[in-house]
Structure 1
């Protein structure tokens, strides 16, 4: 049987990120010419090898640690050097720091030996300047188009230059230092890499971090640790487009998705609203600037539609550079604008985006429902785009209970909830800014609720539940999945229906792993390491936790939050994109999904969402009110968050172990209101 090209595994690699650059390496710090290892900058691998040797030997790795956004340290031992005996006396520390145009690394050799240590330190460097697409596909990259001269590599518009002060440079790109280390001293050398890429689509933001960094204390210390690591990762994922107004957004994830993604960037910004509205405003503006204006089957574009993904032209083989194959990005854009308005985004900034809102609602009215049945569906008409265009966008993700795959066009369950929510959110914004159409969209939402109730509900092993989707023949796709959790808190469900959905989400079939499984264990397609049919996604779990809390189901929310916090602890508080959906009792820790991105924007934002669900701060700045609705009974224990933001105000929330809560810092324009559960 011929070998297949396999996507490189990521789970055991260490990432250092400062967007648009990222480095993936072995736990030792070595960057070897294998798999996805290397440094990527704006979707080009600008360093494919950085292999460190002492006396021609690799040091033995013992530790690595993040030192903040864009900085990682690696510690190894050179046990053949120094004093004899069991205790190592020569250690090597590599501190890798990403900078806006490249990488700086220091290498420190420290000796506690009784006599002088002499050694040769060598570093083999190479750059294949490969686009990210063939690397992701597992195809061989030979670097044949690269021109090298000394420590300079170039191909097309990209040039990479390495420098190594004080080192000798071999013809093959290896640099060497001869070191003499006196007893109980250290010697440090350094090298640098700089990248010139005038064609890069994305750049590092030119402004400071857009959100606050709250001080979090909690009885469950996992929550505060997760929040801290999450905020470091989110800071490292900030991007702006090279062309445009410089608006900041969050790149979706490392290594494959470090660019503008409609759905991912929107969800991440929405999840960060408790820390401020600036990243939401930047995300809304940059996506509005690329909003669809024409019908184009090849790109999936339609007037008013929000794009799915923006890449440099040579970054991927099968999708257009500007690709619109997402059925939900437009709806999520509308709801982010609404929620940012509620959280205190300036009325002038909101009003400037109302024309884009009207265009987005126009897409919902004229293009989202191609067959006129009242539900939003998708189908890839180009033949080379994504077969599935919701957040579960793998080709095999939409399955019936018996495991058979649904055929397009497909109407996803959560998308109908997003449409209902977007219609009401759009109506509120149109009314507030004196634009016509509010009554039309409220009527649309009312009719959607009736249609949905009559069409989507099916019977399952655990009782009635909304189907995953309708297939091309309008048959309910009857698998029980996490998608139904996204309906909670939208208003689409009645209180009784919400309670039934909450019970199912907290059942062992969906919640028996470390968070919320994407598909229940009762379904034939369930597999714990299926990308979308049994795995656990951090963002999916956190969003559903928050929606359960908002809908008044604290026990179910606490069950899922507990699983996700246990997973966070296992992953050193850097939640990956997804992980295995194995039962919590089997191994005691989650099984990594070996190709998961980490860090990833909405996975990192999950830490903020868990914090928000715990404290329950829900403002409506235009109405002049703030609701404080922490999880009843404080199932996550006492939590204090100081430095949350509503508009320009810094807000502190203290939740006691008994569930009591206080808020301080509210401006005079805001009054505390009783919480409302849908």
Structure 2
């Protein structure tokens, strides 16, 4: 029987262990110490006199710290243990472990405490796909440390293990101790990492990634008060998880942005970082500025088929592991996403509206103009005015390049995959919104009235043509996509909710769209399903074809709010927040799409990332939706519609161009 996992992280460094604190080689589990997309420890096991210890408790006490309490095994319930071990682990750019061994008996005890270690230096994709290494591993044993290394050409990674008064072999560090009765022995073991291919970098285990800590991060965010205690816990947990996911990109080392999610996506992702930054803008705006600047610094400037790059395109993913370094995978960076570029423009405008930071918007005018050009020249593959996608790299590139990027996510109602190239409906909404927003920036920040007028005309034309092509009058909803043969894909899916968020839906169609979104086929009782029940393509346990994604539902809630459908938005927000309370106040990446009436409790998707950035940001966006927070020319706008169960909602110290502002509302909306 496997013990529960205990995960701690700080930015792009994380540790996954069992409840004992042990890291055990297992091809089915991503256990280990990971740094910059590679595993620097694949084995880390404590033994007392050669025996495995029993865990009485083991859990994360902070996002970057875990505590494990172990005892010697006795083999019977009739004899109590006499030796205990307290392991306290911290992660930074490496790992530090404090050990406290206590003799609870009345006799002196000679003890031998060992840590067995190993490092396979697996790239995160080698872990996920069980691929074999091709480089050379080595080990060096010195008088005060062991170095585990891996090299392949000029690529090298190392793990250094240090402790005092220890005996070393190439696979263990051992302490020989004579413990007197009631005596406690203490020591520390430090694990540092080195990355030779990234300029001289040797990280100490306890070296902080962050220039300011968790409490400062929390203090800078607005203060929440609510009549529902769980909401305060959820809000606090979201801020803590976003703090944990922060990392500092190489191009902008002085400020942070969010990694996408533990364990597989601890890296910069264009779509994830942009949406998370949008969610967090009224709370922690720093991440948004950094995300925009980091993505602009990596914007494609030329065509590269291997990486799906085209001039002006915003990246999908940036990795630093071995496979990316040797171009065995295209993630250095990879540009296989058709929605990141319009999302970049949307978030750039939203950032200026909230912060008034025109200096950043003016500095990013060039990248923004290049993004517009990409939408017009490269995004429109078929010349029909819609953004569609077809990978330039069919061997290792992504087939589907919208947010639902599974191979089988864009399908007909019977489950048949739609032929490429695909133009999904929500990306057209993003393109419409991006043009409207960039027109505002051109007029108010860049002084280019000609560009502003042209983009507004293009947006209006796109809106008209989109309705003509994508609206399905007999079904009363928009097609999921237009396929490579110009046919609509008439699958009812959550994508239509993003159209409300973008504002592309004409008023006469809103009732029909909302009716589907909040109807029993799409709304599970916890959130909006990615694909509606009642169609053969629906599977409540399929990654993108029936699950409920919190960020998806949060964007839909914002769309409902945009169109004045406040009761429905409040109902959706309440349901999602109620679900969070079942997961220790942390929403996972996705939920199984089973009906709430059937299960009574929300069910997490089996391999969901947790914490995951845009799931962590979801409660923040739902708070914005319920409070109706909008930046206006005269300050912060508030138009609250709060579910009755919350009693009241208050946010104090909301940051923006106005400085700090407060918002308060009594609960007024009956959601059932």
Report the TM-score, using the length of structure 1 for normalisation. Answer: 0.88
Structure 1 residues 494 and 89: alpha-carbon distance in aligned structure 2, compared to 1, 3 A threshold: farther
- Corresponding position of 1:134: 126
- Corresponding position of 1:253: 261
Aligned match for 2:87, one of 91, 94, 111:
94
For 1:241 and 1:11, how far apart are their aligned partners in 2?
34
- Corresponding position of 1:6: none
- Corresponding position of 1:674: none
For 1:277 and 1:536, how far apart are their aligned partners in 2?
27
- Corresponding position of 1:302: 310
Give the CA deviation at 1:519. 0.9
After superposing the two structures, state which structure 1 stretch, 281-290 or 169-178, moved more.
Answer: 169-178
1:388/1:394 contact within 8 Å kept: yes
Aligned match for 2:190, one of 174, 189, 192:
192
For 1:619 and 1:481, how far apart are their aligned partners in 2?
31
Give the CA deviation at 1:465. 0.9
- Corresponding position of 1:511: 523
Unaligned runs of 5+ in 2: none
For 2:593 and 2:178, how far apart are their aligned partners in 1?
50
For 1:71 and 1:619, how far apart are their aligned partners in 2?
37
Give the CA deviation at 1:572. 1.5
For 2:635 and 2:376, how far apart are their aligned partners in 1?
32
Unaligned runs of 5+ in 1: 1-9, 661-678
For 2:580 and 2:570, how far apart are their aligned partners in 1?
15
- Corresponding position of 1:415: 427
Aligned match for 1:103, one of 81, 95, 100:
95
2:436 is the counterpart of 1:424:
yes
1:120-269 aligned at under 5 Å gives the runs 120-139=112-131, 145-149=137-141, 151-156=146-151, 157-178=156-177, 180=179, 182-183=181-182, 186-200=184-198, 207-208=211-212, 212-243=220-251, 246-269=254-277
2:569/2:626 contact within 8 Å kept: no
1:614/1:636 contact within 8 Å kept: no
For 2:362 and 2:88, how far apart are their aligned partners in 1?
47
Structure 1 residues 87 and 205: alpha-carbon distance in aligned structure 2, compared to 1, 3 A threshold: closer
After superposing the two structures, state which structure 1 stretch, 318-327 or 115-124, moved more.
Answer: 115-124
Structure 1 residues 528 and 120: alpha-carbon distance in aligned structure 2, compared to 1, 3 A threshold: farther
- Corresponding position of 1:367: 378
Q: Structure 1, residues 226-255: CA drift from partner, whole Å, max 9, x if none?
A: 221121111122222334564532111222
Aligned match for 1:645, one of 636, 646, 655:
655
For 2:466 and 2:384, how far apart are their aligned partners in 1?
11
2:667 is the counterpart of 1:657:
yes
- Corresponding position of 2:471: 457
Q: SS where residue 589 of structure 1 aligns?
A: coil
- Corresponding position of 1:312: 320
Structure 1 residues 428 and 147: alpha-carbon distance in aligned structure 2, compared to 1, 3 A threshold: same
- Corresponding position of 1:441: 455
Give the CA deviation at 1:34. 1.3
1:513/1:581 contact within 8 Å kept: no
For 2:645 and 2:224, how far apart are their aligned partners in 1?
17
Give the CA deviation at 1:155. 1.5
1:576/1:603 contact within 8 Å kept: yes
Give the CA deviation at 1:88. 6.8
Give the CA deviation at 1:477. 1.0
2:21 is the counterpart of 1:29:
yes
Structure 1 residues 147 and 169: alpha-carbon distance in aligned structure 2, compared to 1, 3 A threshold: closer
Aligned match for 2:388, one of 374, 377, 381:
377
The size of the alignment, in residue pairs, is 644
For 1:400 and 1:179, how far apart are their aligned partners in 2?
70
Q: SS where residue 14 of structure 1 aligns?
A: strand
Aligned match for 1:332, one of 343, 349, 356:
343
Structure 1 residues 147 and 380: alpha-carbon distance in aligned structure 2, compared to 1, 3 A threshold: same
2:353/2:631 contact within 8 Å kept: yes
Structure 1 residues 244 and 221: alpha-carbon distance in aligned structure 2, compared to 1, 3 A threshold: closer
Q: Structure 1, residues 11-30: CA drift from partner, whole Å, max 9, x if none?
A: 95332111221111123322
For 1:52 and 1:65, how far apart are their aligned partners in 2?
17
For 1:561 and 1:62, how far apart are their aligned partners in 2?
38
Structure 1 residues 228 and 89: alpha-carbon distance in aligned structure 2, compared to 1, 3 A threshold: farther
Aligned match for 1:50, one of 44, 59, 73:
44
- Corresponding position of 2:357: 346
For 1:171 and 1:200, how far apart are their aligned partners in 2?
26
After superposing the two structures, state which structure 1 stretch, 321-330 or 561-570, moved more.
Answer: 561-570
Give the CA deviation at 1:116. 6.2
Structure 1 residues 482 and 61: alpha-carbon distance in aligned structure 2, compared to 1, 3 A threshold: farther
- Corresponding position of 1:588: 600
Q: Structure 1, residues 462-486: CA drift from partner, whole Å, max 9, x if none?
A: x511111111112111111111111
Structure 1 residues 633 and 255: alpha-carbon distance in aligned structure 2, compared to 1, 3 A threshold: closer
Report the TM-score, using the length of structure 2 for normalisation. Answer: 0.89
2:627/2:642 contact within 8 Å kept: no
For 2:458 and 2:646, how far apart are their aligned partners in 1?
38
Q: SS where residue 343 of structure 2 aligns?
A: helix
Give the CA deviation at 1:507. 1.9
